Amino acid sequence: MLVVKTVEELKDVVFRIKSNGKSVGLVPTMGALHDGHLSLLKRAKKENEVVVCSIFVNPVQFNNPVDLEKYPRNVERDLQLIEPYVDVAFTPTAENVFPEPPTERYDFGKLEQVMEGAFRPGHFNGVGIIVKRLFDWTTPDKAYFGEKDFQQLVIIKHLVKDYNIKTQIVPCPIVREESGLAMSSRNQRLSPEDRAKAANIYRILKESLKLKDEAIQDIKDFVVNEINKIDGFKLDYYEIVDDMTLQPVDFADLSTGIIGCIAVYVGEVRLIDNIRYK
Ligand code: AMP
């Protein structure tokens, strides 16, 4: 595995790979890697001749400075974990990625006016900035994104359409701990007690599946009430949305896909998860 630390080196390496006619799969990450990330890398290894993994805590997608500061980082361990699956690891500094403050602006319209976009102003502009740059530098044939960040996945699909980017976006299912808790780098920040408590998020989402033929509002009320019952949880949102437009649904029958997305603070740590109803 080659470890490259600058954009210039990355572009050189990719140029050589592409000159040899090899296919490239890209897995963008922010590090503190877990089995969720590894599932993306394993899939990328199966489907591409060369796998590029970026490890970069992108400051411009954080709206909360404390979240950025406390985001777990352990690049040495990450590199050991990804070695079996990755050909090129890209671990740049923020100064190298952003020698100047970025001036690009990405507006995903209604897609970003709900859920993460509404609660984290500027977040998807920051995601757009880094993902578009990574795509420009690595020109991947395929890029892998987890369904855990469902809104992000939909927005990236729009980004490639809007900019006529040839990369195929490959969605990957959520990997969970045995308890059902969706794996997340932020889980490292949970105390053992809170980590056990956090398993209630998926338990409640799964229980709500029993109501999937009821009115949307009843499902929402159920989830919100159950979450609010748990000491130390603070709900940001629970939305049941169309899986293409991300707009809240009223009449289940009109949408071909329906997904419930949640963001909840467990103590100080903000976690997201989702579940498919249809
Ligand atoms: P992050 O490092 O959190 O920015 O995540 C990098 C990529 O891994 C994103 O596409 C995430 O959606 C994906 N990912 C993170 N956690 C999981 C998980 N538990 N299961 C599947 N994919 C995940």
Q: Is 183 in the pocket of ligand 1 (CB under 6 A)?
A: yes
- Please state, in angstroms and rounded to a whole number, the distance separating the CA atoms of residues 204 and 221: 12
Q: Is 37 in the pocket of ligand 1 (CB under 6 A)?
A: yes
How far does the centroid of ligand 1 lie from the alpha carbon of residue 253, in Å? 30
pLDDT tens profile 125-176: 999 999 999 999 999 999 999 999 999 999 999 999 999 999 999 999 999 9
- Please state, in angstroms and rounded to a whole number, the distance separating the CA atoms of residues 67 and 20: 41
pLDDT tens profile 68-90: 999 999 999 999 999 999 999 99
- Please state, in angstroms and rounded to a whole number, the distance separating the CA atoms of residues 120 and 231: 24
The DSSP secondary structure of 65-101, one letter per residue, reads HHHHHHS---HHHHHHHHTTT-SEEE---HHHH-SS-
How far does the centroid of ligand 1 lie from the alpha carbon of residue 154, in Å? 14
| Ligand 1 nearest atom to the CA of residue 173, by list position | 21
The pLDDT confidence band at residue 250, using thresholds 50, 70 and 90, is confident
Query: Is 158 noted as a catalytic residue in this protein?
Result: no
Return phi, psi of residue 163, to 5°. -100, 10
Q: Is 149 in the pocket of ligand 1 (CB under 6 A)?
A: yes
Q: Is 182 in the pocket of ligand 1 (CB under 6 A)?
A: yes
Confidence (pTM): 0.97
Q: Which residues lie below 8 Å from residue 67, measured CB to CB, with a gap of 6+?
A: 270
